Amino acid sequence: MGIGSSRLFSTLAQSLSSTPLEHTHVDVEDGDSDQADPDVLLRQCGEVLRNRPPRLHRAFIQTRTGSPHDSQIRVMQWNILAQALGEGKDGFVCCPAEALNWSERKYLILEEILTYRPDILCLQEVDHYYDTFLPVLSSLGYQGSFCPKPCSPCLDVRDNNGPDGCALFFSRRRFQLLGVSHLRLSAVLLKTNQVAVVATLRCRATGRAFCVAVTHLKARSGWEAFRGAQGSHLLQQLKAISRDGGEERTGGAEGMPLVVCGDFNAEPGEEVYQRFMASPLGLDSAYRRLSADGSTEPAYTSWKIRPSGESCSTLDYVWYSSSSISVDGVLKMPSEEQIGPNRLPSYHYPSDHLSLVCDLSFIQEPHRLM
């Protein structure tokens, strides 16, 4: 075991309840030269979780012909379930309390990330950013940025670990950070409790600059118009950020390519989904590539049982600029049998939302072919 992996394992194993939190983001630019070995850490996660059922096996579906290449970008989108909400507010009536214990659940989360090794990681409901995700992922070669919710419901839970929010991580080896914005989303003129992180990155292999965003929109039925307004505000901000960056870094007025990840808390028939599909930014949903005709979302990305009943919904999305980015492959959703009768979260999966993972590539621009 390398020194880095040993130190990282110790960080995960210790009690994580005493670290004071600041309500600001942290960007880590300089990596530790003694970087942890992800393969070693993945094996260590397996050792800790040896008494739990094995993780879900999910096939990767290739959606475009051709072999993988160095410039391919793997993106993971995941609402990981805030620890305070899972234990204190969400009421997963079929999930044993022991399955939600942070001392092991954090290894399930890390195991999922290490299994798929994303180049870009977009997370929602992160309430252990400073004491777990920042140090662990930084040691694995990621740079991160975190934006907490202004009035996080986690703060209403006794012995909470601070507010939850959105976190965006990217590989320092693969990308250079050109700029980052933290947004508090509005609904018309009303500032809301939902946030977004938007990072402008340059791909070191291709030199291409692009924007990646992560967000988490308002939950629950009855708030459809509210989510629609939040989505409109986010689209406006993305247009401005991508266009300003495009003018500055490419010398033209066209906007940079976009990748937008999030838990939208909205089914495909909702207003906010339609706004994204019809946006002049030219966005498409990566997981539509799984369907036979390329136009249908998965049957579910979240499946849970609460006191109010069972909920099986498609709420999570990876949007991309279809004119400049192609989808090479996507991670298939597990079957109902794999998920199990008690649904999510469970002993073998740490969140009520399934991770979305896709491989993206830049479409070659004509002037770059010359």
- Please report, for residues 56, 85, 220, 285, 308, the alpha-carbon distance to residue 351 in angstroms, rounded to integers and kept in the order given: 12, 11, 18, 22, 18
Report the distance separating Cα 54 and Cα 73, nearest Å: 27
What distance separates the 2 farthest-apart alpha carbons in the chain? 61
Q: For all residues of the chain together, what is the average pLDDT? A: 89
| pLDDT one-digit tens code per residue, 294-323 | 899 999 999 999 999 999 999 999 999 999
Instruction: Give the model confidence (pLDDT) of 71-98 as tens digits.
Output: 899 999 999 999 999 998 889 999 999 9
- From CA 194, how far away is CA 67, in angstroms rounded? 39
Quick one: which of 249, 247, 273 has its CA closest to 260?
A: 273
**Which pTM was predicted?**
0.91
Report the pLDDT value the prediction gives residue 107, as an integer from 0 to 100. 98
pLDDT in tens, 164-194: 999 999 999 999 999 999 999 999 889 999 9
Q: Going from the N-terminus, what domains does the chain have, and what CATH number goes with each?
A: 3-365 (3.60.10.10)
d(CA 75, CA 169): 10
pLDDT at 156 over 90: yes
Task: Give the closest residue to 125 by CA, choosing from 84, 176, 158.
Answer: 84
What does residue 120 show for φ and ψ, rounded to 5 degrees?
-130, 130
pLDDT tens by residue, 191-216: 999 999 999 999 999 999 999 999 99
CB of 171 closer than 8 Å to CB of 70: no
101 confidence band (pLDDT: 50, 70, 90): very high
